[in-house]
Structure 1
Amino acid sequence: MLHPTTATPVDPTPSPLISADGLLPGARVLLKDETHHASGSHKEPAARAVVARALAEGHDRIVVGSCGSYGRAMATACAAAGMRCTVVLPAEWGDGGALAAAAGADIRFVAGDYEDAVEESHRLAAMEGAADGNVDGPYQDAIAEGHGAVVDALYEQLGGAPVSLWIPLGNGTTVAAAHRRLLALDWPVALHGVGSRGNNPVVVSWPGPYRELSAADVVTTDHNEPLVNRHALHGPDAMTAIAASGGTVHAVDDDELLAAQALLGRYGLRPTPAGSAALAGLLTHTRTAPAAGAHVVLLSGRD
C-alpha cells in the first residue's frame, strides 16, 4: 500500500500547463504535459525519488520490471545519478527495450506479461543484492512522493482547485499517490482514471469489488500496452481514491486513444496513444456540457 507523505519534492522545472481552448464548450481544459521529462514519462519524478533513496542506502544498482515507460524512466534517472539499472521486460511486448537500453540500462527478458516481468525483477533484485525499485517494492513511499509532485506543481500553477484531474490508469499508482497529496493539501479535486477497455482490473471491476483478471482476459496492442494489467498493483487503492474524490473510472479503446493523440498534435504535443488516454477519457465520456471550471488532463509517454 502507498503511504501518505507530508512533503513532496516539486520538480524544479514543472511541466507545461497548456490551455486547450475550444475543446469542450463551456469548460476550461488544461493539458499537463508530462512528456517534457527526459524519459518522456510522468513516472520519471517517481523514478528519481527511488534513485535518491537507494543511493542514500548505499545501493549502486536498481532493478525494475516494466512494460516500457517505467523502465525507461528508471534508466534515465539512474544514468543521471551514475547508478546501474536493470530493466526486466516481457519478451513479446513493446520496443524490445531499445529506449531503456539507449538510456544505459541492462535489459533482461522474461516469457509472459508485465506481471511476470515484475515477479522476475523482484527475484533478481533479491538474488543480486540490488535495490528493488518496483512500484510494489520497498520504495513505495518514495514513489508516492515522486508521483505527488505533479499535484504540488498544479497547486502552485493554478492557485484554485480544478474541477477534475484526469490520469492514465495502469497499476493505479499515480492515481493513489495523487489522492494522498490532494488530501495533504486539503485540495478537493475529483480524480478520473482512464484505462483500456476490458484490459485492466480497475476498469473492469469499477465500482467494485476489485478482482484480478486472467492472462486470457487481456489483449495488448501497440497502442494500449502501458494501460494493460492482469493485476493493477495499486488497483484497490486507486479505486478507493477515485471514489473518495468524487471521480470515476473510464474505459477507452484504441480508436479513441488514437483520436485523442491526433487532436493533441494540433497543439504541438506528441504523446503516445496510451499517453493520450486521459484526454480520450475526458472527450469520450463527457456526454453533456462539463462543469464550469478547469479540467486538468495529464499527458504522458513520448515516443
Structure 2
Amino acid sequence: MIDSRPFAEIASFKITYKSKQKKRINRSKTGDALLFIFLALSGFLSILPLVLIFSNAFKPLDEIFLYPPNFIVQHPTLDNFRDLGVVLGTSLVPFSRYFFNTILVTVVGTVGHLIISSMCAYPLAKYKVPGSGIIMGLVTYSLMFPSSVTGIPNYMILNWFGLIDTYWAIILPVIASSLGLYLMKQFMITVPMSLIESAKIDGAGEFKIYWKIVMPLVKPASITLIILNFRALWAADGSTYIYREDYKMLSYALNQIASAGPARQGTLAAVAMIMIIVPIVMFIISQSNMIDTMAHSGMK
C-alpha cells in the first residue's frame, strides 16, 4: 500500500506557500501604498520652506506680515528686488567686489579640496600604506567634531601663519576638511585593482593612472564633493576671519543689508532667494551622482 502522507504534506505545503505568497503580495502592495504616502507627505513638507522662500521674495511688505501666512503670493511684486538693488548701489564697496570675492573663494576652495582629497585618498584606497588604518581612524573621528568646536583652533593656526584678513583664511579650512578624503577613499575602493595593474603594464605612471583612470570612475563622488563644498563656501560670510570690507563675502553683505529690522523683511526674502537658488540648481543637475555616492560611501 502506497503511503499518501508525503503527497498530502506536499499538497499542504503548496497550499500554505500559495497562501503565504498571496498574503505577502497583499502586504507588499499595502506597504508600497503606505510608503508612497509617507514619502509624498515627507516631500511635501520638505518643499514647503522652499515654496515659502520663493513666495516671500515676491510678496509686498504687508503680505509678508499676514498671519496666518499665505504660502502662495497673492499680489506679486518686484519691489523687494528693487529695494535690494538700491541698497547695494549705495554701499561703500561695490556689489561686484562682494560677488568676485565669493566666486574666487568658492572656486579655489572647491577645486583645491577636490584635488588634494582625491590625491590623498588614492594611495590609501589602492595601496598598503603604513599606518593607513590609523589615518582613516583619525579621519573618521574628525568627522564627529562640528565646526563650532574647531573654530578657535582654526583661528589660532591661521593667525599664527598670518593668514587672517586674507582669502586663505576661508579657503584653507575647507581644503583641509576630512570629509572629502573619506568620500573619495570609500569610492576609490570600488575601482578594480586589475585596471591599475593593466595600466602599469601599458607604461602609465601613477599620476596618469590617478587622473586618467581612477578619477573618471569616481565621478559621482567628485561631483558630490564639488556640490558640498560649493554650498558651504557660497553661504560663508567669512566674518570670523576677515575684517576688511573689500574682502568680505556676498553672504555677509546681503545679510547685513537684510538685518536692518522689520522694514527690510522684504529685502531679506529677496536675499534668501538669491542665496539658495544657485545650490538648488546645482543639486537638481547632479542629484543622481549624489545618490550614487551616498549608496557607495554609506553616508546618510
**TM-score bracket, shorter-length normalisation:** under 0.3
Higher relative contact order (CA 8 A, sep 6+): 2
More helix by share: 2
TM-score (norm 2): 0.25
More strand by share: 1
TM-score (norm 1): 0.24
Larger radius of gyration between Structure 1 and Structure 2: 2
